[in-house]
């Protein structure tokens, strides 16, 4: 039943506008700010997108970039010189951005009508990317144009490369988590912070002492002296619709002239909280549809709606009904009503990273547990505690007493402060009841 009307000498497909700013869907709208139209983006009588490519991003760094597209209502075909009316452009599906980034056009539906004044538009990509690598952002647009009084609708597919880099940190072996300290006296409490955070990130901590956690920011407790390997594996998970099966049960499609030539031509439109964001391929002349190997990102715990259609070229598409669902994790959802079937939602791991650090736990030397430390000739009692100070050769900025000595309380205070422990207390050893700091 589907046929596109051909217009001699005019390739309307060339008029498709490449609004290639990708993400999983329009529904995945985050806290993006409004985009700003660049008035310098002007293509004359032909559509243009500015810039030609999105800037690169870095894992863990907030990203926000805008793009402007110019959609002239009257388009001159550069090959033939003929003019056509640019009636509409609709972004049907936008997929492929890494997890953590979202795409927001200034018209949330993705529908632009240049002939009615939508000659400019813009979009913003924002968020914090959680996976690195090279990506192919895939975009599907529907273009409706008219020449010689005849309209033609075409679907075009475009790709835009987009790179997310791994950050360059001082410790290249651990790009996954931070800690407030990595050494100290037992019992040692280490506060851990995952650099991969969010509702769709799964954490597996191994403290190296037989304990662990699945929380994003746990506290590891080490009760015994020793050296421990602290590690975190973070998996970035997306909830995706991976398969879709649909059978038409009710009527609604066989009521116009298009429908006398065969069975319905099925497709569906999936909408999220902000409107439509995915249009399926069309299955022609059939009462059923079965799609597999899908990767359509779904927002967990957000209401989604599916509209079912029979595509008609002459009289307009027939609406075959609708169905709403609110996902809560991966599951198989039965489609009910005039349309029956099932869609499968799966948790798909899109990035898995592991980081490791070494935790050194020291035994509490004599004197630090409340006993009097060994007397060091020439040193006075510490007035604040009544205990004798410990001889400490110091070569760093934390010389509390000004005479290259630290009291026991000073040592404990420094060990409790992460910046001091990082900068100065790199190694502590016990030697003849004396503590020596080796910067």
- The answer to whether residue 176 scores a pLDDT higher than 70 is yes
Predicted confidence at residue 421, as pLDDT, reads 39
User: Of 97-101, 151-155, 268-272, 403-407, which has the strongest mean pLDDT?
Assistant: 268-272
Q: Do domains 12-165 and 169-363 have the same CATH topology?
A: yes
DSSP for 305-320? Answer: EEEEEE--SSS-PEEE
Q: Which residue has the higher pLDDT, 123 or 302?
A: 302
Task: Kindly tell me the number of DSSP H helices and DSSP E strands found in the chain.
Answer: 2, 27
Domain residue spans of the chain: 12-165, 169-363, 365-439
User: Of 106-115, 155-164, 374-383, 427-436, which has the strongest mean pLDDT?
Assistant: 106-115
CATH level 3 topology of 169-363: Immunoglobulin-like (2.60.40)
Average pLDDT of the chain, as a whole number: 72
Q: Which residue has the higher pLDDT, 372 or 318?
A: 318
Q: Specify the residue for token string 């894992």.
A: 59
Q: Specify the residue for token string 């040592």.
A: 411
Q: Specify the residue for token string 């026991």.
A: 408
* Residue 59 to residue 29: CA distance in whole angstroms: 19
pTM: 0.49
Q: Residues 11-27: pLDDT tens digits?
A: 332 232 222 222 233 33
* Residue 346: C-alpha distances to residues 100, 173, 211, 252 (Å): 18, 32, 29, 32
Question: Hey, is 418 helix, strand or coil?
Answer: helix
* Residue 167 to residue 59: CA distance in whole angstroms: 6
* Residue 207 to residue 230: CA distance in whole angstroms: 5
Q: What angle do CA 47, 126, 241 make, to 5 degrees?
A: 90
What is the maximum alpha-carbon separation in the chain? 108
Specify the range with the lowest mean pLDDT, choosing from 6-10, 117-121, 126-130, 227-231. Answer: 6-10
The domain 12-165: what is its CATH number? 2.60.40.10
Predicted confidence at residue 325, as pLDDT, reads 92
Sheet holding 188-194, edge to edge: 177-179, 188-194, 219-222
Return the closest-CA partner of residue 421 out of 434, 412, 430, 429: 412
Q: Residues 274-325: pLDDT tens digits?
A: 778 888 988 988 889 999 999 898 888 889 999 998 887 776 788 888 899 9
Q: Which residue has the higher pLDDT, 407 or 362?
A: 362
């Amino acid at each position: 039943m589907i046929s596109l009307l051909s217009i001699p000498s005019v390739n309307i497909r060339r008029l498709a506008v490449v609004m290639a700013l990708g993400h999983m869907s329009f529904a995945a709208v985050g806290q993006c700010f409004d985009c700003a139209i660049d008035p310098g983006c002007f293509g004359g009588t032909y559509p243009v997108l500015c810039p030609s490519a999105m800037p690169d991003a870095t894992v863990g760094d907030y990203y926000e970039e805008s793009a402007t597209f110019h959609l002239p209502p009257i388009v001159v075909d550069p090959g033939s010189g003929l003019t056509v009316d640019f009636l509409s452009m609709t972004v049907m599906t936008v997929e492929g951005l890494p997890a953590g980034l979202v795409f927001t056009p200034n018209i949330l539906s993705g529908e632009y009508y240049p002939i009615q004044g939508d000659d400019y538009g813009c979009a913003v990509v924002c968020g914090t990317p959680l996976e690195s690598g090279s990506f192919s952002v895939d975009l599907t647009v529907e273009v409706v144009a008219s020449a010689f009084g005849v309209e033609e609708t075409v679907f075009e597919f475009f790709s835009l490369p987009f790179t997310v880099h791994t950050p360059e940190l001082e410790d290249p072996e651990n790009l996954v988590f931070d800690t407030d300290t990595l050494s100290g006296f037992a019992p040692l409490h280490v506060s851990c912070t995952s650099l991969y955070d969010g509702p769709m990130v799964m954490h597996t901590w191994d403290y190296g002492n037989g304990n662990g956690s699945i929380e994003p920011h746990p506290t590891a407790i080490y009760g015994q002296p020793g050296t421990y390997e602290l590690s975190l594996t973070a998996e970035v998970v997306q909830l995706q619709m991976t398969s879709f099966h649909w059978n038409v049960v009710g009527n609604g499609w066989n009521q116009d002239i298009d429908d006398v030539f065969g069975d319905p031509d099925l497709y569906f439109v999936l909408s999220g909280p902000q409107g439509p964001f995915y249009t399926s391929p069309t299955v022609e002349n059939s009462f059923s549809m079965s799609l597999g190997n899908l990767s359509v990102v779904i927002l967990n715990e957000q209401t989604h709606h599916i509209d079912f259609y029979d595509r008609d070229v002459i009289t307009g598409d027939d609406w075959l009904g609708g169905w709403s669902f609110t996902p809560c994790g991966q599951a198989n959802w039965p489609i009910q009503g005039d349309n029956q079937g099932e869609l499968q939602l799966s948790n798909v791991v899109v990035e898995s990273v592991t980081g490791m650090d070494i935790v050194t736990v020291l035994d509490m030397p004599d004197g630090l547990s409340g006993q009097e430390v060994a007397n060091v000739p020439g040193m006075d009692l510490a007035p604040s505690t009544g205990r004798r100070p410990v001889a400490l050769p110091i070569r760093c900025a934390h010389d509390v007493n000004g005479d290259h000595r630290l009291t026991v309380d000073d040592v404990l205070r420094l060990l409790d402060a992460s910046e001091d422990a990082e900068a100065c207390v790199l190694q502590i050893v016990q030697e003849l009841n004396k503590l020596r700091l080796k910067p």
